[in-house]
């Protein structure tokens, strides 16, 4: 049995996945079709796709390549996988709405620290 990979990524790296999408989806952040070890198409498709949609995005983003490699460990014959803000799942069939979890994501958001304003000691102890 394989363990689910847990990955912490920066928000800007995560958002780059959406840049290479052929079709934007409302149900997930990004979706891809893997047709072999070296082929990643920038959409989810179980049917024949046009030549225009068969753009190979392997090598565009290291994060996408890592997701694809992990997906192929779980589902060696390829297929479609879907990236959400907190997880990546694959579907065996188009009608499979839940999918199988193979990667958990945690977005590493930058924290802004606002320095405390020094108190004015004269004002704090003065009588009105």
H or E stretch including 9?
strand 5-10
pLDDT surpasses 60 at 121: no
pLDDT bin (cut points 50, 70, 90) of residue 126 is low
Q: Per the confidence metrics, is the pTM higher than 0.75? A: yes
| Least confident span in 34-38, 73-77, 78-82, 92-96 | 92-96
- Torsion angles phi and psi, residue 101, rounded to 5: -70, 130
The residue among 105 and 48 whose pLDDT is bigger is 105
Mind giving me the DSSP string for 58-117? TTS-HHHHHHHHHHHHH-TT-EEEEE-SSEEEEESSTT-SS-EEEEEEEEE---PPPPPP
């Amino acid at each position: 049995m394989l363990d689910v990979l847990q990955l912490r990524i920066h928000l800007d790296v995560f958002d780059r996945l959406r840049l290479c999408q052929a079709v934007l989806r409302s149900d997930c952040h990004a979706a891809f079709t893997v047709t072999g070890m070296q082929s990643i198409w920038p959409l989810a498709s179980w049917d024949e796709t046009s030549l225009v949609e068969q753009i190979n995005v392997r090598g565009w983003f290291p994060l996408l390549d890592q997701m694809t490699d992990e997906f192929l460990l779980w589902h060696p014959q390829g297929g479609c996988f879907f990236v959400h803000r907190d997880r990546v799942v694959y579907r065996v069939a188009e009608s499979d709405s839940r999918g199988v979890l193979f990667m958990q994501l945690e977005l590493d958001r930058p924290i802004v620290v606002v320095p405390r304003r020094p108190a004015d000691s004269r004002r704090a102890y003065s009588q009105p």
